[in-house]
Amino acid sequence: MKDSRNNVLMHLENHLRDFPNRIALRWPASRPSTTNPYSNLPHLEITYRDFSHKIASFAQGLLDLGLKENDRVIIFLPMSLEMYIAMFAVQRIGAIAVFLDSWARIHHLGASAECVTPRAMISFKQAFDLVAQVPEFKSMSFRILLGPSEEHEKGSRKQSFDDDFHYFQDLFKSKEASIAAVEPDATALITFTTGSTGKPKGANRTHRFLFAQHNALSKIIPYRSTDIDMPAFPIFSLNNLASGVTTVLPAIDLSAPSERDGEILASQIIHENINCTTLSPSMLVGLCRFAEKSQIKLPGLTRVVTGGAPISKDDVKNFYQIAPKADLWILYGSTEAEPMAHIEGREMLSCETSNDPEIIEEGVNVGRISEDLDFKFIKIINGPIDLNIDLNKGAITSNEPSPWASCEVNLGKIGEFICTGDHVCRDYYNNPAAFSGAKILGEDGRVWHRTGDLGYLDKDQNLWIVGRTNNAIERRGEYFFPVRAEVLLKRLPFTGRCAFLGLTSGQGQTTAAVIELKSEIAEQNKINLDFDFKSALTEIQRLFKKNNIPLDSVYFVGEVPMDPRHHSKVEYANLRNQLQTGQNIIFQEFF
């Protein structure tokens, strides 16, 4: 039944009532020009009252423009006040916000438009220039431009450029739109997977799903009214704002990681009195490296959340050196289901299975599975899984075999982790083919999400992730997984980024270790040509042999390709193609 209380915007409406003068957002007034973490970076701010009024005012502008319920509106903006005004205004009128990360490239834009057939897009002039040749955008009715053109600034509305666009600042109206009544399962937000393993898929986030996700996250990350949080993930900020805390937007460019990012984040943490932050593992490592190099501590941090890619115990230990008073929560999740599991860093460090620091555990401990999920482990199965469920049949009797019997593995055994629950996306927007590849319909009508992650449950009910199904290496009838080998490689003093993967050969698959030298070593090597590859190979072989990991080849490459969203996960398919075609290789050795 339609009701305005089903609309996820009710969170902000409650904040407007309960604490209108609390600061909702703070953001840098300009791009940082200094690398000194003790130099203050000026910020602007807005209260929940003014934030809510701007959203309602802009929402009325969208209605006046002709947008309506269920219209899809692409929002292609960096983290900013304008991005959140646009996203929440679209949801306020019952339309669907289609969010594209700032790192998205033209094939992401084309895939998103093909999926959602947008009625409007809100972005910069450069983005509209980019999509001008993309056929899927030709039928789009409204182009809303952030940032006035020179002609617009002069007040001239006769230019052909102006005729094609509506201006962001012109959509704020004196009248404020009310919150639209929606069905609980109406789509509120569409976000896209990275597409690193194929075509990007649009996760269908309904209003019910967003409420459930907020509730699940709040159990793990309970905010206090005095918290000041800096989330580096645009979508994660939604949970902050739903919780009613003050959110500081990071001053770094998420679409183009820089070696300066650690310095900039440290400056904001110090000067904005930030006590909570959410960072990708690569950002966390960068922050720790800068703090260690500069000999600074961050005692004001009380809680840091990281996720999106595996994080090693070494990185966890390094974090506590710079923020000894903080809790470090490692979240395991995905575009389709966040959170799935969580663990605090000190608990991760306490779960040692060997006294020998050179012996690496089989996988990464991601902690306890969310209490709001049901889960299973299934065999490594390529392609769709059809349980042949007859939903009209009713409950299965005790004499009938479970439809899961042919694919489920016992707890404690390695299998693909699958889950179901209210904060698990049931489907992909306008993409039934993606459903068959990533979902399983259960006997009770529930939809199970296939994570593609291989893992097992230990005796303490902790979930351990050992790798991805599509990156499992089958060598001579035995499976091997990347995580353990990559932890070994990361510990080597010369390793920047690294990977462990399988390469196809005439005998099946062989194993390959891939290393990108640390930037300072790579630069020295270019100048002096004195890196000792032979000694490095000897050490790699010794460690792999000690851990009983077979090693058939080692490659030193110019750059290990990483995912564009978090810059923390290896793009294995891309790397495999480079190795097999001889690209990007500096040195190689076969055993």
Question: Looking at residue 175, what is its pLDDT?
Answer: 97
Per the CB < 8 A criterion, the answer to whether 47 and 73 are in contact is no
Cα separation, 69 vs 180, in Å, equals 8
Q: Does one domain contain both 492 and 413? A: no
Question: Looking at residue 154, what is its pLDDT?
Answer: 47
Question: Looking at residue 224, what is its pLDDT?
Answer: 93
Is 444 domain-assigned?
A: yes
Is 470 domain-assigned?
A: no
Is 471 domain-assigned?
A: no
Closest among 244, 266, 352, 335 to 565, alpha carbons compared: 335
Residue 197 DSSP label: T
Across the chain, which distance is largest between two alpha carbons, in Å? 79
Cα separation, 407 vs 425, in Å, equals 22
Phi-psi region of 452 (alpha: psi -120 to 50; beta: other; left: phi over 0): left
Number of other residues whose CB lies within 10 A of the CB of residue 37: 21
Is 435 domain-assigned?
A: yes
HSE at residue 6, side-chain half, CA atoms within 13 A, is 18
Q: Does one domain contain both 383 and 347? A: yes
Q: Does one domain contain both 155 and 95? A: yes
Last residue of a domain, one of 187, 206, 225: 206
Number of other residues whose CB lies within 10 A of the CB of residue 174: 6
Per the CB < 8 A criterion, the answer to whether 308 and 366 are in contact is no
Q: Does one domain contain both 119 and 188? A: yes
Q: Does one domain contain both 44 and 149? A: yes
For the entire predicted model, the pTM comes to 0.85
Number of domains observed in the structure of the chain: 3
Cα separation, 466 vs 517, in Å, equals 24
Q: Does one domain contain both 135 and 249? A: no
Is 450 domain-assigned?
A: yes
Look up the CATH number of the domain holding residue 95.
3.40.50.12780
Last residue of a domain, one of 206, 237, 269: 206
Is 376 domain-assigned?
A: yes
Q: What does each of the 591 residues of the chain score in pLDDT, given as a tens digit?
A: 899 999 999 999 999 999 999 999 999 998 776 556 667 889 999 999 999 999 999 999 999 999 999 999 999 998 999 999 999 999 999 999 999 876 666 777 888 899 999 999 999 998 898 888 888 898 899 999 998 654 445 454 444 445 689 999 999 999 999 999 999 999 999 998 866 556 788 999 999 999 999 999 999 999 999 999 999 887 778 899 999 999 999 999 888 888 889 999 999 999 999 999 999 999 999 999 999 999 999 999 999 999 988 788 889 999 999 999 999 999 999 989 999 999 999 999 998 667 788 888 888 899 999 999 999 999 999 889 988 755 455 444 445 667 898 899 998 999 999 999 999 999 999 999 899 999 999 988 899 999 999 999 999 999 999 988 988 999 998 989 998 999 899 999 999 999 999 998 877 899 999 999 998 888 776 655 578 999 999 999 999 999 999 999 999 999 999 987 667 789 999 999 999 999 999 999 999
Is 315 domain-assigned?
A: yes
Q: Does one domain contain both 45 and 161? A: yes
Residue type (1 letter), 84: Y
Question: Looking at residue 84, what is its pLDDT?
Answer: 96
Per the CB < 8 A criterion, the answer to whether 367 and 330 are in contact is yes
Closest among 590, 568, 570, 569 to 578, alpha carbons compared: 570
Last residue of a domain, one of 186, 206, 226: 206
Count of H helices and E strands in the chain?
18, 27
Q: Does one domain contain both 263 and 305? A: yes
Residue type (1 letter), 410: N
Is 27 domain-assigned?
A: yes
Q: Which domain holds residue 429?
A: 210-353+360-396+403-465
Q: 339 preceded by cis ω (within 30°)?
A: yes
Q: Does one domain contain both 55 and 24? A: yes
Question: Looking at residue 395, what is its pLDDT?
Answer: 46
Q: Does one domain contain both 415 and 563? A: no
Q: Does one domain contain both 270 and 414? A: yes
Look up the CATH number of the domain holding residue 536.
3.30.300.30
Q: Does one domain contain both 152 and 182? A: yes
